[in-house]
Amino acid sequence: MIGMQLAILAIVAAAGGAVVFTRKPGEQVVGASFFGLMLALMFFIFQAPDVALSQLVIGAVALPLMVLLAIAKTRSTQMRQDHEREQPRKPEREHGRHGPDEGRFSPPDEERPPADVRQPPGRPREAR
C-alpha cells in the first residue's frame, strides 16, 4: 500500500512538471490529460473514489477538450489576421476589418496595425 502511494505521488509530481515544461499548448494538452488521469488514480489509491470519478471526467475529458477547442479557435484567428495583413490597406476596409462584433469596442478612426506579432519589417513596434 505504502509503495503504491509513493509511486503514484512520484508519477503525479513528474507529470505536473511535464505539463509545465511542455511549452507548446498542442502538445501540452496530451500531458495535461495524462496528469488528470494520474490525479484520478491518486485519489483512488488514497481512498477517495468520489473525487476520483470527478477528476476522471473533468481532468481527462472535459478540460483537455475545452483547451483543444480554444487552441483551434486561436489558430483560425491567427490565420484570419495573417490574411488581413497581406491585404492592401484601403481606407474603406478599416471599419469592417474586425467584423461587426469587434467594431463596437474600438474607436472607428483607429490607426493601429492589426497585431503586434509578425509585423511588416518597415514598422517596428518600438517606433510608435
Partner 1 sequence: MIYFYAAMAVAAWLFLVGVYGIVTSRNLIHLCLCLVVVQASTYVLLTAVGYRPGGIAPIFADVKQTDKAVDPVIQALMLTDIVVEATVVALLLALTVQIKKKTGTLNPDKVNLMRG
Partner 2 sequence: MRHPGRMGIFFTGAAAVAALYALSAIRLPGPEDVRGEYMRIINGECVTFRHVTDAVTAVNFDFRGFDTLGEEFILFVSVMGTLVLLRQTDAKPGAWAPDALSPGRAVGASDALRVWILAMTGPTVLFGIYTVIHGQLTPGGGFQGGVILATAPLLLYLAESFDVFRRITSHRYLEIVEAVGAGAYGVIGLLALFRGREFMANIFHLGKGGNDINLFSGGTIPVINAAVGIEVTAGFVLLLYAFLQEMLERKEAGS
Which CB, 92 or 106, lies closer to partner 1? Answer: 106
Which CB, 92 or 111, lies closer to partner 1? Answer: 111
Contacts of 36 (CB under 8 A, 6+ apart): 55, 56, 58, 59, 60, 63, 64
Q: How far apart are CA 85 and CA 122, in angstroms?
A: 13
Which CB, 92 or 116, lies closer to partner 1? Answer: 116
State yes or no: residue 117 binds partner 2 (CB under 8 A).
no
Residue 121 backbone phi and psi in degrees, to 5: -65, -20
State yes or no: residue 101 binds partner 2 (CB under 8 A).
yes
3-state secondary structure at position 128: coil
Q: CB 126 → partner 2: shortest distance, Å?
A: 13
Which CB, 74 or 119, lies closer to partner 2? Answer: 74
Q: How far apart are CA 16 and CA 26, in angstroms?
A: 16
Task: Catalog residues that contact partner 2 under the rule CB under 8 A.
Answer: 48-54, 57-58, 61-62, 65-66, 69-70, 72-73, 76, 79-80, 83-84, 99-101
